[in-house]
Structure 1
Amino acid sequence: MSSTKQNQLSVILVSPNVSEQMGGEAIKALQIYLELQRQGIQVHQVTHDRVKRELDEKYPDMSVSYLKDTKLERFLNRMGPLGVFLNPIFLWKATRLAEKKLKEYPGAIIHFNSPVSPVLPYFRARGARVVIGPINGNIHYPPAFRTRESSSYRMRRWLHPILQFLHRHTITGKQHADALLVAGGERTYESLRMCGCRDEQLVDSIDSGVMDRLYANSRITHAGKNFRFFQNGRLVRHKGTDLVIKALTKTKNPIEFDIIGRGPALEGLKALTAELNLQNRVHFIEWIPDHSKVAETLRQYRAFVFPSLAEANGIVVQEAMVQGLPVIALNWGGPSLLVTPETGILIEPISEEHVVTELAKAMDLLAENGELAEEMSIAGRKRAIDDGYLWSGVIRNWTSVYDRISEIPEREPSLTQATTSV
């Protein structure tokens, strides 16, 4: 893209949370803003008022419009299950505000980059060019593991086609968007088609980027034997961490497994470790105080083990590959779109017994074979760069989409569209 084109291009981003403190989607939204700005694009952010203090303190020059909660939103927030209506209400208000901002940023593209679920209702932004995504969802447990699903997962799986049918005929913002960035592969394509989206709207995308500074670190290298493996991230049931612990009872080698993170599954995992008498081989590292030292900490490991049963994306997989760590995962969901036979080992989720056995075999293989681990390390890092896993690459791909749709003539809404269409 030429510098002239960059100077002409403006983007209005919409995300409910933009923050370093509020978890994955909020951090991702912040990185999108910052990287677009770094690449010379004029950016304005629409977000919720709850992040104002943090952004004012850390990013005082950021161009932002804030939305405050209404009385209805405050009521819904106190009512537990009714909180599901908060995202649609935010999106409605944010769409209207973004439309108004077009007067300040004529010709700007409105990009709804969060929330990411394909079943969320998006509303039409009248007279605007619109990008939505990356959209990533329609992920459920493998059939052999459905008994592990919580009641909320089962309910979502059951409601999914019903909601998409309703959206097809009511709230049509996704159908009228100029581009839908799709990060979930065919399962997300299928979901979007259910609600009336067309194939020509759908653009393959990476769900999230990896900080460029991780690539600036030297690659983790492998030689000889190494019996140390790890998993990091929030400890929740669908991550399948218990499967790795069980696999340690089947390994030929004295494999050690470090679990870095906290979450609701932590106490259950500790209990399982004690039950299997694996306290000397499973280590719980709940927190690394200095975040800048995480990358250095990971140099001691042979591979990243991540048998998640319902992982829509896989940012932790991307981070492992960028750093030069082979990945052991299930051939299911987001990781299956990232890991290849050259960069790691994918296990078919046929049954719990099969997964546990194959996890043990995979860890034994990589623990003993430093040459294979090194080959996967090199290939994984190369794939991460070639496929644009870094934030700089992700945003460059998105700007090519912006360029394409910016050539579409601006659409003036008809009276019918303005009064009846959502």
Structure 2
Amino acid sequence: MNKSKKIKVLMVVEQCNPNWSSVPLEGYKYFQQISELVDVTLVTHERNQKDLKSRHSDDNIIFIPESKLAQKYYRNIVTLASKGTINWPLAHTLSYPIYAEFNHRVYQQFKDEVLQRKYDIVHALTPMIPRYPVKLINACQNTPFLLGPVNGGVPFPPGFQKIAKKEFANLNFLRSIGRMLIPGYLQTYQKADQVLSGSTYTLNWLKDSLKVSDDHIDLFYENGIDPTFLTDQPKTRTSDRVNLLFVGRLVPYKCADILIDAIAQLENSIQQKVHLTIVGDGSERTALEASVKQLNLQELVTFTGWVKQEQTLEFYQNSDLFCFPSIREFGGAVVLEAMACGLPCIVVNNGGIGEYVTETTGFKIEPISRDFIRDELTQKIQTLVENEPLWQSMSAQSIQRAKDFLWTTKAQKIVNIYQQLSR
């Protein structure tokens, strides 16, 4: 594309930080890769300034300041939701005033430029949860507005109410209250020229609950992978030992406890051939370590604690099979990273990860009950330990599947959407 004819994009990414994890890191990856292809003006929160400036000193980035009142609120109120197990429903609810200030200031600063058609596209990327409005859409009278990918709202399976209670799902009613009370919420989704949904569940929810029309919404998985994770060759067995891997926060809904129980009931001949590494930390770690000791699995299970995201690559490369029985995942980037490294994946079919894994790249377990997931995990692990040709075929297919999720590929797809909208 000729530089002089590049599409001009105003990209609003409140959460955009290369040194953080989850949504802020995803927001940064979208900005980083898309800005290589089109002319991007990034609008983000000033809390990201130090980290972004260390990498993009010459880029066109606008940092929106925060009032002293909002700073104090953020420190003294929102952090209450983060003690122990994070209370996500409460955290999102309490965080709204912080976002609302940012949202209003973005509108005040850029409404005239958007009305004057200084940009070809306005693209709002974060927050990715589908519950916040974007006020700037009011100025997009002659400028296409793209929203997303948004993702979230996946319910807990019916048989897991104890875990749902631990994760404060009883406060999920706050979502519906927010939809009724937050001004501009419905308007944002109903007036957007295009909405990108990060999962099939969220897509159907937006269509049914917010009345987003079919021709204004598309499925676009939120997560991507760096090329450093992508291997060229499928896995090959170099020893009799099969290394199993779990990567994730050690919190109730990730269900590492079910994986440990599945290892415990493997046939003795299979147990002697496997070793499980659990990468991550969280509120459940002490209980998980106690369970490993009680089941006498100390020689079969290793806990690494928390490691940096880029350091997980070594664990993927040194493993043979990825086991991730999380019962409620919106994105699940770890599954994509594992697939890129050639690992067949065993996952629970509820949320985004059930859409990443296909019948040729691994196994999906229906969340019927805890015992059902445990028994299926045991069976699938045993199958892939014993059936080396199937394991190697799934390894090769996982790599091919992961190529669709490279950040460079996703950025080009977004730019294609820009071109369609700007016509």
Q: TM-score range by the shorter chain?
A: 0.7 to 0.9
Aligned with residue 31 of structure 1, among 29, 32, 43: 29
Matched, 1:107 2:115: no
CA deviation string 1:81-109 (max 9, x = no partner): 53343223323323443434548971331
Instruction: Describe the SS at the equivalent of 1:110.
Output: strand
The aligned residue for residue 401 of structure 1 is 417
User: Which residue in 2 is equivalent to 1:200?
Assistant: 215
Deviates more, 1:341-350 or 1:151-160: 151-160
Counterpart position of 1:360: 378
- Asked whether the 8 Å contact 2:234–2:396 carries over to 1, the reply is no
Deviating more after overlay: 297-306 vs 102-111 = 102-111
Pair 1:273–1:92, CA change in 2 (3 A)? farther
Match of residue 233 from structure 2: 219
Aligned partners of 1:103 and 1:149: how far apart in 2? 45
Unaligned runs of 5+ in 1: 408-422
Report deviation, 1:315: 1.2
SS of the aligned residue for 2:54 comes to: helix
What is the CA-CA distance between 1:6 and the residue it aligns to?
A: 8.2
The counterpart of 1:53, out of the listed 50, 53, 64, is 50
Q: Give the counterpart letter for 1:357 in structure 2.
A: D
1:285 matched to 2:304? The reply is yes
Task: State the partner residue of 2:82.
Answer: none
Task: State the shift of 1:61 in Å.
Answer: 1.2
Which deviates more from structure 2 when the two are superposed, residues 124-133 or residues 75-84? 75-84
Q: Deviations over 1:240-290 (max 9, x none)?
A: 11110111111111132100122222222212222222211110012457x
Question: Is 1:312 paired with 2:330?
Answer: yes
Gap runs ≥5 in structure 2? 79-89
Alignment partner, residue 121 of structure 1: 133
1:415 equivalent in structure 2? none
Q: Secondary structure at the match of 1:150?
A: helix
DSSP 3-state at the match of 1:301: coil
Question: TM-score when scaled to structure 2?
Answer: 0.87
Please give the per-residue CA displacement for 1:121-175, whole angstroms capped at 9, x wherever unaligned. Answer: 3333413321111111111211111221136642354344454455698651121
Conserved 8 A contact 2:128-2:148: yes
Quickly say closer, same or farther: Cα 1:355–1:188, change in 2 above 3 A.
same
Q: Which amino acid aligns with 1:218?
A: D
Q: Percent identity?
A: 24
Question: Aligned-pair RMSD on alpha carbons?
Answer: 2.4
Secondary structure of the corresponding residue to residue 172 of structure 1: helix
Q: Which residue of 1 aligns with 2:252?
A: 237
In the TM superposition, what whole-angstrom CA distance separates every residue of 1:332-376 from its partner, at most 9, and x where no partner exists? 111111111110011111111111111111111112222111110
Aligned to 1:417: none
Aligned counterpart, 1:376: 394
For 1:360 and 1:171, how far apart are their aligned partners in 2? 45
The code of the aligned residue for 1:83 comes to: S
Deviates more, 1:158-167 or 1:264-273: 158-167
| Aligned counterpart, 1:155 | 170
How is 1:333-344 mapped onto 2 (pairs within 5 angstroms)?
Answer: 333-344=351-362
Q: Does structure 2 conserve the Cα–Cα contact (< 8 Å) formed by 1:243 and 1:355?
A: yes
CA deviation map 1:6-38 (0-9, x unaligned): 833011111223222221211112211111122
Checking the alignment, whether the CA contact within 8 Å between 1:167 and 1:195 is kept in structure 2 is no
In the TM superposition, what is the alpha-carbon distance from 1:390 to its structure 2 partner?
A: 0.5
Give the whole-Å Cα distance in 2 for the aligned partners of 1:251 and 1:76.
51
Correspondence for 1:190: 205
Indicate if the aligned counterparts of 1:183 and 1:313 stay in contact, CA closer than 8 A: yes
Structure 1 residue 94 corresponds to structure 2 residue 113: no
CA contact (8 A) 1:168 1:195 kept: no
Q: Distance in 2 between matches of 1:225 and 1:7?
A: 57
Q: Once the 2 structures are TM-superposed, how far is the Cα of residue 230 of structure 1 from its aligned partner? A: 0.6
8 Å CA contact retained: 1:11, 1:110: yes
* TM-score (structure 1 length as normaliser): 0.87
Letter of the 2:264 counterpart? T
Instruction: Please tell me whether the aligned partners of residues 134 and 185 of structure 2 are also in contact (alpha carbons under 8 angstroms).
Output: no
